[in-house]
Amino acid sequence: MSLSISLTINGDARTIVLEDPRVTLLDLLRERLQLTGTKKGCDRGQCGACTVLVDGRRINSCLTLAMTVDGAHVTTIEGLATGDELHPVQAAFLECDGLQCGYCTPGQIMSAVGLIAEGQAVGDPERVRELMSGNICRCGAYKGITEAVLAAME
Ligand code: FES
């Protein structure tokens, strides 16, 4: 059974036929649409590497069936920069060394963008850590990540 969904991905309206209704948003992004900036870590909702924004809210795309985002606006890491100009959160991660190996970084940045849009935790490192706790960094670059999120809030 196939079904068709319509969604806007990084500003582009798309109609996509899903051959398998069980496909996740993560696999749709990476395997069908070649948007490989969104990473697959655990594939079970534990690491946050797959974080994207759906209608402005942070979600784990590995836990989200693609069919459930029919009609939504999806933003991935590829949709943040404007031409050669980095999004302020991307620039803050570079400025503050908010990464080491970089694998978790797209998810960290998308989570930070969502967190800032939620308007929470301004100037509070402990609260930022709590609100970013769904995004694991195996390298332990949390100090720089937290500093980057706080810098991007200013
Ligand atoms: Fe989705 Fe780990 S890949 S939370």
Atom of ligand 1 nearest to the CA of 60: 1
Say if CB 64 and CB 25 are below 8 A apart: yes
Least confident of 62-66, 73-77, 123-127, 140-144: 123-127
**How confident is the model at residue 94, as a pLDDT?**
98
How sure is the predictor about 2, in pLDDT bands with cuts at 50, 70 and 90?
Answer: confident
How many Å lie between the centroid of ligand 1 and the Cα of residue 136? 10
Spell out the domains of the chain, with CATH numbers in brackets: 3-79 (3.10.20.30), 88-153 (1.10.150.120)
Atom of ligand 1 nearest to the CA of 47: 2
How many Å lie between the centroid of ligand 1 and the Cα of residue 46? 6
**pTM for this entry:** 0.96
How many Å lie between the centroid of ligand 1 and the Cα of residue 45? 4
Residues with CB under 6 A from ligand 1: 40-43, 45-50, 60, 62
User: How far lies 67's CA from each of 5, 18, 79, 152, in Å?
Assistant: 7, 8, 21, 33
Atom of ligand 1 nearest to the CA of 61: 1
**How confident is the model at residue 122, as a pLDDT?**
75
Say if CB 14 and CB 100 are below 8 A apart: no
Q: What is the dihedral of CA 99, 105, 110, 111, to 10 degrees?
A: -70
Mutation test residue for ligand 1: of 30, 38, 44, 105, the one with most atoms within 8 Å of CB: 44
**How confident is the model at residue 34, as a pLDDT?**
98
User: Helical H runs in the chain?
Assistant: 25-27, 88-95, 105-118, 125-131, 142-153
How sure is the predictor about 136, in pLDDT bands with cuts at 50, 70 and 90?
Answer: very high
What's the one-letter identity of residue 36?
Answer: T
How many Å lie between the centroid of ligand 1 and the Cα of residue 55? 19
For residue range 42-76, list pLDDT tens digits in order: 999 999 999 999 999 999 999 999 999 999 999 99
